[in-house]
Amino acid sequence: MRYVIRQSLCKRLQVQEGPFAELLLLGSGSFSQPALDRPLAGTGAGPGGGAAARARAASSWAGPAMAAEPPGARGFYRQLPKVELHAHLNGSISSATMKKLMAQKPDLQVPHGMTMIDKGKRRSLEECFHMFQIIHQITNRTEDILMVMKDVVQEFAADGVKYLELRSTPRDEPTTGMTKRTYVEAVLEGVRQCKEDGLDIDVRFLLSVDRRGGQIAAKETVKLAEDFLLSTDGVVVGLDLSGNPSAGHGKDFLEPLLEAKKAGLKLALHLSEIPNQEEETRLLLGLPPDRIGHGTFLHSSSLASGDLVQLVRQNRTPLELCLTSNLKSQTVLSSDQHHFGFWYNLGHPIVLCTDDKGVFATDLSQEYQLLADTFRLSKVQIWEISYNAINCIFASSHTKTKLKEQWHQLKTSVLE
């Protein structure tokens, strides 16, 4: 059976090196989780720093800190009405949905550890991107996308998210006949069915441009996004630039992104997710984007990047911050070193998000709790962070007003 997996996954993924290939190609071996789900202990060269720093991080973070949690604290974070603005569809698949998908594809026996990083475990950013390739093999039909979409929306709603902007990369899958267009149609059908079911959540969608696809694929995605912007009555709101930050260069995407902006699509761009991307970041900030994903190294100590902080501050471009994602993919070494502290102290607009709640085994309530525990924030401060996120959504000012009313109605009961 392992050879079946090896052929069906590894060949299609063209994984040639790295720990995933080792696991997949061992043949004898083992999909044993310990090899992948290792605790951080100076292994794996994450971009965040050297062995000493990693050792420091290992001692200072072992999953969300919840030791001194007063009774009912968890309830507060769940009841808190929340806005989620940075969630990748295929990274948000829960283990329950993954089980359903796997049951339909018995020849793909992918172990849990290859699609999710458990509590207290970490991987390198590169390993995380291999995980997405594996997940994509599991969601290769439009019916998978529809099921995933409905489950993910339901899970966010159950977690107290009232407004959700999901993003996803449209994919062609010749083996199943799925095209980029039918992919987006499946996503939108999911939104429609959730609405019909009366879920208490407003869902919008951003089409993602994967850096790995290069300029031609980016232009194709922009064209598709423009079509759907006109035909979906406000559900499609924008475009995301994401994918492995080491792949390609931002300059290749300037033209399609500018075209998208001119067409009325909002831009959410992953920027400075890894160090030493000042040149690319400066170029993309010139567009300017409407929101920034992560921005982890925008404020890094080099004098040369001081102007990047200035640019972002001048435009008051909101940052989408994802603590567990950055910790588990090791771009941030401990929660107290997270760049939330830097931007929050400046009074800059930030939005707390999950990024990939499935892969990183989290949800938005846990992210708020981790933030509060790490930075010692009061319930009122947490409330304000959640409320201010409404200003950063891509939907109309009418939707913002409605959400603000909803927050006001809930305030007393949630804070008391």
Given candidates 124, 325, 362, 366, which one binds ligand IMP under the rule CB under 6 A? 325
The option from ligand IMP, Zn ion, none interacting with 36 (CB < 5 to 8 A, set by class) reads none
Query: Between residue 188 and residue 247, which ones bind Zn ion under the rule CB under 5 A?
Result: none
- Residues numbered 49 to 108 that lie near ligand IMP (CB under 6 A) are 88-91
Buried b (16+ CB within 10 A) or exposed e, 75-108: ebbbebbbbbbbbbbbbbbbeebbeebbeebeeb
- CA-CA distance, 368 to 354, in Å (whole number)? 10
Q: Is 299 helix (H, G, I), strand (E, B) or coil?
A: coil
Alpha-carbon distance 279 to 404, whole Å? 38
Quick check: is 226 catalytic? no
Strands 319-321 and 291-294: parallel
Of 94, 97, 142, 169, which one interacts with ligand IMP (CB under 6 A)?
169
Decide whether 132 or 368 has the Cβ nearer to ligand IMP: 132
Rounded to a whole number of angstroms, the minimum distance from the CB of residue 373 to Zn ion is: 23
Nearby residues of 72 by Cβ (< 8 Å), 6 or more positions away:
none
Which is closer to ligand IMP, CB of 280 or CB of 355? 355
Which one of Zn ion, ligand IMP, none is in contact with 150 (Cβ closer than 5 to 8 A by kind)?
Answer: none
Site string for Zn ion, 335-364 (x = CB under 5 A): --------------------x---------
Smallest distance from the beta carbon of 360 to ligand IMP, in angstroms?
A: 9
Choosing from 20, 76, 132, 156, the residue that interacts with ligand IMP (CB under 6 A) is 132
The one of Zn ion, ligand IMP, none whose footprint includes residue 169, by CB under 5 to 8 A per kind, is ligand IMP
* Nearest alpha-carbon partner for 164 in 211, 131, 197, 199: 199
Beta-sheet strands, E only, within 262-383:
266-271, 291-294, 319-321, 350-352
In the complex, what is the shortest distance from the CB of residue 270 to Zn ion, in angstroms, rounded to a whole number?
6
Contact flag: residue 308 with ligand IMP (CB under 6 A)? no
Determine the Cα–Cα distance for residues 362 and 116; give it in Å rounded to an integer.
Answer: 10
